Chain A
Amino acid sequence: LPETGRLYASTTVFRAPAGTPVPFRLGYADFDPDVRLFARLPVDAELAVGDPVRVVLDDRDGFRLIAATAQDAP
């Protein structure tokens, strides 16, 4: 996968089945050439649809999406 992708869609979830703490944020991110990843995002991240994101490994969820900074750009 390329280092950075683009946030395709996201939602902050306020109601979930018992046992799942809320709120949490979910999103899809697109990576070239034709991969769409689903992951959690930081709830408070300033991330809009279309913004650059990158993948970070996470013990609980496997991986998460975070905002990509200028230094992450290829």
Chain B
Amino acid sequence: VRDIEIAGVGMTAFGKHEDRTLESLGAEAVRAALADAGIDGDRLDAAYVGNVLGGGQAGSRVLVLEGITGIPILNVEAACATGSAALREAMHAIQLGVADVVLVLGVEKLTGLFQGGIDLGRTDRESALGLTVPATYALTASRHMAQHGTTAEQLAAVTVKNRRHGSRNPRAMFIDTPGIDDVLGSPAIADPLTLLQCCPNADGAAAAVLTATGAVKRRSRRAVRVLASELVSGTSSRRQVDITRGDVSRRAAARAYAAAHIGPEDIDVAEVHDPFSIGEVVSTEALGLCPRGQGGDFAASGASALGGRLPVNPSGGLLSKGHPLGATGVAQVAELTWQLRGEAGGRQVHAPRYGLAHTVGGGVAALDAVASVVTILAGEA
């Protein structure tokens, strides 16, 4: 199997870009990633583009602006795991030898599509009874609290930590740093989750150039390699499964660790899907980054803060950056690339060797998830 490097990354600021189009956001990220890789668009052999709600053909709509035409351009969608799924397909194309230099783009323009929370417009029983996306996570939080003794303060600590991290990220949507009382005192959304424990809808784009090692001259001082990127899909949620286990993420992680020949104890920095505070709690456990049932304490104790044992979401996560659905997974990989190169500025983790990115997408009532993707990157020692 061929070694794969991340030759370049780029992203727009995430936030409310009311005066920008999906196409211009995507093109900005593509230009940044190509410049970081030191190549022109004509070096690309293929492009995989993640977008969820943009109405189709996002890849061609963006890339034509940059004169990138004719090559295979594939659009990928897997709910909140969309950008990660696009990256996985790019990795496979290089591994199979059908391409040497591949662009991954995630892009989303949500401003103007709807008011408030995402309305998926579904007609299943759960949606008809009012099962919103925050309510789905709130049910998991309710069970986690009863089963594992997780407290409201521990859930709020996830937001407090990630917002502190995000305050050091110039591309994050939020830069202020609420405390525990601010989080718990913000408006109730779905008990026990309050507004500040829910990520904001956002617009933005992120891109990466993946290459077979040696296919382009490396510009960055330190190489960043893709060791593994594994995707699994969800299973039925109408049986008595333990919803605090994060099974879909657990399965994706097991495959990724096996493919990378490392374990969770080797991870030095992680970008973990945190659309809601409880999401990071469940997923840090499912990824093996902390013991089962102790995801709340992992955040509240400072172990997963910058300077702690294993910093989680140094970018600020979705809770700080916002969540432009299709862009999120690629933005995680951009952050890890900067971290592994030592280019993360005021939010730099101390000398990381291995980074893990994780997303999980949902929205189909009969399933515990649509898909989860775990990607493992390695820097140079």
Interface residues in chain A, defined as those with a beta carbon under 8 Å from any beta carbon in chain B:
8-18, 20, 24, 26-28, 30, 34-36, 38-40, 48-50, 61-62
The answer to whether A26 and B117 touch across the interface, beta carbons within 8 angstroms, is: no
Q: In the complex, what residues of B have CB within 8 A of residue A49's CB?
A: 142-143, 145-147
B142 touches A10 (CB 8 A): yes
Q: How far is the CA of A16 from the CA of B145 in the complex (A)?
A: 23
Q: How far is the CA of A12 from the CA of B189 in the complex (A)?
A: 8
Q: Which residue of B lies closest to A22 (CB)?
A: B130
Q: Is B240 an interface residue (CB 8 A)?
A: yes
Cβ of B98 < 8 Å from any Cβ of A? no
Q: 10 new A-B pairs (CB below 8 Å) besides A13-B130, A16-B117, A36-B237?
A: A8-B243, A15-B187, A15-B189, A17-B119, A18-B115, A24-B130, A26-B129, A26-B135, A34-B240, A49-B146
> Can you report 18 residue pairs joining A to B where beta carbons are below 8 Å apart?
A9-B243, A10-B139, A10-B142, A11-B141, A11-B190, A11-B191, A13-B191, A15-B117, A15-B187, A17-B116, A17-B119, A26-B130, A26-B139, A27-B139, A28-B243, A35-B238, A48-B146, A50-B146
Question: When A and B form their complex, which 3 residue pairs have the shortest distance between CB atoms, in order from nearest?
Answer: A49-B146, A11-B138, A9-B143
Chain B interface bracket (under 10, 10 to 19, 20 to 34, 35 or more): 35 or more
**Contact indicator B129/A30 (Cβ below 8 Å):** no
Point out the residues of chain A lying under 8 angstroms from B239, CB to CB. Answer: 34-36
Please determine whether B189 and A14 come into contact, CB atoms closer than 8 angstroms.
Answer: yes
> Which residue of the partner chain B has the closest CB to A37?
B238
A17 to chain B, nearest CB (A): 5
Which B residues lie within 8 Å of A28 (CB)? 139, 243
Residues in chain B near residue A8, CB distance under 8 A: 143, 240, 243
A35 to chain B, nearest CB (A): 7
Within 8 A of A (CB), among B184-198: 187-193
Does B132 reach chain A (CB closer than 8 Å)? yes
Using Cβ atoms and an 8 Å threshold, which residues of chain A touch B142? 9-11, 49
Task: Please tell me if the beta carbons of B117 and A17 are within 8 angstroms of each other in the complex.
Answer: yes
The CA of A18 and the CA of B132, in the complex, are separated in Å by 12
User: Nearest residue in B to A28 (C-beta to C-beta)?
Assistant: B139
| Chain A, Cβ-Cβ closest to B138 | A11
Nearest Cβ on chain A to B160's Cβ, whole angstroms: 22
What residues of chain B have their CB less than 8 Å away from a CB belonging to chain A? 115-117, 119, 125-126, 129-132, 134-135, 138-143, 145-147, 187-193, 237-241, 243, 365
B129 touches A35 (CB 8 A): no
Q: For B134, what are the chain A residues with a Cβ–Cβ distance below 8 Å?
A: 13, 15
Closest to A17 in B: B119
- A49 to nearest B CB, angstroms? 4
List B contacts of A38 (CB < 8 A): 125-126, 129, 131, 365
Residues of A within 8 A of B119 (CB): 17
Q: Write the nearest CB–CB distance from A46 to chain B, whole angstroms.
A: 14
CB atoms of A16 and B143 under 8 A apart: no
For the complex formed, measure the closest distance between the CB of B355 and the CB atoms of chain A, giving whole angstroms.
33
Enumerate chain A residues within 8 angstroms of B140, measured Cβ to Cβ: 9
Q: Are B240 and A36 in contact (CB under 8 A)?
A: yes
> With A and B bound together, what is the CA distance between A15 and B131 in angstroms?
11
Decide if B116 touches A26 in the complex (CB within 8 Å): no
Q: Which residues of B contact A35 (CB under 8 A)?
A: 238-240
Residues of B within 8 A of A50 (CB): 146
Contacts of A9 in B (CB 8 A): 139-140, 142-143, 146, 243
Are A36 and B238 touching (Cβ within 8 A)?
yes
Contact between chains at B191 and A15 (CB < 8 Å) = no
The minimal Cβ–Cβ distance linking A72 to chain B, given in whole angstroms, is: 20
Contacts of B187 in A (CB 8 A): 14-15
Q: Within 8 Å CB of B117, what residues of A?
A: 15-17
Closest to A24 in B: B130
Are A15 and B116 CB-contacts (below 8 A) given A24-B130, A26-B130, A26-B135?
A: yes
Name the A residues within 8 Å of B132 (CB-CB).
13, 15-17
Distance in angstroms between the alpha carbons of A16 and B116 in the assembled complex: 8
Query: Could you say which residues of chain B place their CB within 8 Å of the CB of A24?
Result: 130
User: In the complex, what residue of chain A is closest to B115 when comparing beta carbons?
Assistant: A18
- Measured in the bound complex, the distance between the Cα atoms of B243 and A8 in whole Å is 10
